[in-house]
């Protein structure tokens, strides 16, 4: 009986240690999401200041991220207000954007992250190459593009490019 | 940028408005003119969509700006039906207003403040059908002119609040009405059928502009253009109605023009409009 209790206790401790060890909290400080939008005669950069999420390893790696769209910023204050409005993110009606991975696997170069991105109430499966390291610190670096019209962001498609370049950098400690 | 706006947003609705009316007048049929103004309104939005890609999907999406032309044209159809089939027009208008509440009014306003939904429905109903009735009594250029200017002024307020899609829709509707006003000034005809649709476009766009934009433009600048055309209804007052035509028109259009001027002044004094379009 004592053996059973002890082994259950040890197993419980091991499970707790494993789950605690494999959770990384994401926030606006350790996770940078920046975008570059291009138009015919130039481009603009920006990003999101407030976000939260987790990276977990429960047999497989999983990333869950919620972005507060109202925290958007750009290199032009007028543009920031325009981006918050209904022409682009409509942050009053769609205050969050979400990304949840469905699979992280080895790709040709580094890893390939697959997941569902939800913006403006529309969900779309996306995938992108990423450099990932794990240990005490989880790091992820990725540069890829998404088509904004996939999410119903159809403003001025003839003037502003549909493709938006994204740069993601994560450096989260356990 | 200005030439582009003239080519895509301003020019086509004006030409469409003028040509449709002239064509209808050539037909010399009583029903041709009311039908043609509603058709012109629909073609004006279609031209804007085709030339300026306002909504590549054409059908309404989750964006408010994509619903506005559909609501405006549906409202205009109600105006068209109202004279001969008032019950049918009333039922259709109820459906259109309900869709406007669901798709344009944000859910936060369904319960608080309590007057939000009634005001959102009653303002375009009273203004639109009131102006339609007034136009039946005294057809002329004053009503389409003021409604057109109100739509354009609302568009200017909203572009100061950084929403180009909403401005484009408003300007297309406003310019089309200016085309009607021009023909009407030369040879008066009834434009009343368009008023419920135009009024619905104006109030829904003003709400959308107020709700979904981020700027220093004060809330009053958004609702002043929405109420401005309603001031034309002072024409129903007997002492105004009895005045000589020129004096009556001047007294009717002056209050809405002052209100529109105040709205533009408020928007312009709180936000600067740059012709360098960031996006």
Measured CA to CA in angstroms, residue A147 lies from A126, A165, B255 at distances of: 10, 9, 48
A104 touches B: beta carbon within 8 Å? no
DSSP state of A164: E
Judge whether residue A51 has pLDDT over 90.
Answer: yes
Is B214 within 8 Å of A85 when comparing Cβ atoms?
Answer: yes
- Among all residues of chain B, which has the CA nearest to that of A85? B213
**Mean pLDDT of the region B206-228:** 94
Report whether pLDDT(B266) > 50.
yes
Instruction: Report the residue of chain A nearest B272, measured CA to CA.
Output: A78
Chain B residues in contact with A79 by the CB 8 A cut-off are 278-279
pLDDT band at A13 (very low <50, low <70, confident <90, very high): very low
pLDDT of residue B7: 77
CB A56 within 8 A of CB A22: yes
Contacts B208 to A, Cβ<8 Å: 86
Nearest CA in chain A to B61: A152
Q: Which residue has the higher pLDDT, B15 or A32?
A: A32
Q: Over the stretch B55-82, which tens digit does the pLDDT of each residue have?
A: 777 889 888 999 999 999 999 999 999 9
* CB pair distance less than 8 Å for A156 and B213: no
Q: How far apart are CA A72 and CA A84, in angstroms?
A: 7
Other Cβ atoms within 10 Å of A136 Cβ, number: 8
Residues in chain B with CB shorter than 8 Å from the CB of A156 are 53, 164, 279
- pLDDT number for residue B17: 83
Interface contact A152-B63, CB threshold 8 A: yes
Compute the nearest-CA separation of A87 from chain B (Å). Answer: 6
| pLDDT tens by residue, B72-128 | 999 999 999 998 899 999 999 999 999 999 999 988 899 889 999 999 999 999 999
Across the interface, whether the CB atoms of B62 and A93 are under 8 A apart is answered yes
Q: Which residues of A touch B65 (CB under 8 A)?
A: 86-87
Tell whether A147 is within 8 A of chain B (Cβ).
no
The pLDDT score that the predictor gives to residue A2 is 55
Are B63 and A79 within 8 A, CB to CB?
no
The pLDDT, as a whole number, for residue A88 is 92
- The larger pLDDT score, comparing residue A85 to residue A109, is at A85
A49 DSSP 8-state letter: S
What is the rounded average pLDDT for all residues in chain A? 86
- Phi and psi (nearest 5°) for B43? -65, -35
Nearest to A160 among B166, B215, B279 (CB): B279
Q: Does any CB of chain B come closer than 8 Å to the CB of residue A85? A: yes
For B162, the closest of A85, A92, A154 (CB atoms) is A85
Q: With contacts defined as CB-CB under 8 Å, which chain A residues touch B61?
A: 152, 154
- Indicate if the pLDDT at residue B225 is higher than 90: yes
- Answer yes or no: is the ipTM higher than 0.85: no
Minimum-distance CB partner of B64 among A78, A84, A86:
A86
**Interface contact flag, A83 B55, Cβ < 8 Å:** no
Say yes or no to pLDDT of B168 above 60: yes
pLDDT at B201: 96
| pLDDT one-digit tens code per residue, A100-138 | 999 998 887 789 999 999 999 999 999 999 999 988 899
Average pLDDT of span B155-177:
93
Q: Is A120 on the interface with B (CB under 8 A)?
A: yes
* Residue A17 scores a pLDDT above 80: no
A79 shares contact with chain B (CB less than 8 Å) = yes
- pLDDT above 60: residue B140: yes
Of the pLDDT bands very low, low, confident and very high (cuts 50, 70, 90), residue A14 is very low
The answer to whether residue A43 neighbours chain B at the CB level (below 8 Å) is no
Contact B163 A87 (CB under 8 A): yes
């Amino acid at each position: 009986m004592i053996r059973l209790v002890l082994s259950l206790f040890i197993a419980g401790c091991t499970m707790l240690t494993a789950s605690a060890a494999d959770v990384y909290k994401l926030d606006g400080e350790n996770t940078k999401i920046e975008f570059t939008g291009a138009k015919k005669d130039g481009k603009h950069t920006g990003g999101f200041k407030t976000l939260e999420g987790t990276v977990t390893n429960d047999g497989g790696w999983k990333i869950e991220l919620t972005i507060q769209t109202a925290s958007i910023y750009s290199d032009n204050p007028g543009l920031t207000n325009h981006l918050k409005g209904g022409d682009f993110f409509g942050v009053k009606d769609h205050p969050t954007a979400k990304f949840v991975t469905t699979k992280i696997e080895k790709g040709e170069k580094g890893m390939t992250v697959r997941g569902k991105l939800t913006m403006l109430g529309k969900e779309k499966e996306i995938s992108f190459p990423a450099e990932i390291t794990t240990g005490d610190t989880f790091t992820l670096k990725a540069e890829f593009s998404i088509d904004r019209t996939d999410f119903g962001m159809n403003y001025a498609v003839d003037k502003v490019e549909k493709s938006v370049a994204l740069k993601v950098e994560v450096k989260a400690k356990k | 940028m200005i030439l582009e706006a003239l080519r895509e947003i301003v020019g086509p609705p004006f030409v469409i408005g003028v040509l449709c009316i002239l064509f209808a007048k050539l037909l010399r049929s009583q029903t041709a003119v009311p039908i043609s103004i509603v058709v012109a309104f629909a073609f004006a939005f279609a031209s804007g969509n085709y030339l300026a890609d306002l909504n590549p999907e054409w059908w309404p999406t989750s964006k408010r700006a994509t619903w506005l032309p559909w609501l405006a044209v549906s409202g205009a159809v109600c105006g068209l039906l109202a004279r001969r089939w008032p019950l049918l027009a009333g039922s259709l208008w109820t459906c259109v207003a309900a869709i406007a509440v669901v798709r344009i009014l944000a859910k936060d306003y369904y319960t608080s403040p309590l007057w939000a939904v009634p005001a959102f429905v009653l303002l375009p109903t009273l203004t639109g059908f009131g102006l339609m009735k007034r136009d039946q009594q005294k057809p002329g250029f004053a009503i389409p002119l003021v409604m057109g200017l109100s739509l354009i002024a609302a568009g200017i307020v909203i572009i100061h609040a950084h929403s180009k899609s909403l401005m484009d829709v408003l300007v297309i509707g406003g310019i089309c009405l200016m085309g009607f006003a021009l023909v009407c000034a030369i040879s008066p005809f009834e434009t009343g059928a368009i008023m419920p649709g135009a009024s619905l476009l104006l109030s829904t766009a003003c709400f959308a502009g107020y709700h979904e934009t981020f700027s220093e433009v004060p809330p009053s600048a958004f609702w002043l253009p929405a109420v401005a055309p309603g001031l034309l209804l002072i024409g129903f007052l007997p002492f105004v109605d009895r005045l000589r035509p020129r004096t009556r028109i001047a007294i009717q259009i002056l209050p809405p023009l002052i209100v529109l001027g105040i709205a533009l002044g408020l928007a312009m004094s709180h936000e600067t409009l740059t012709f360098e379009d960031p996006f």
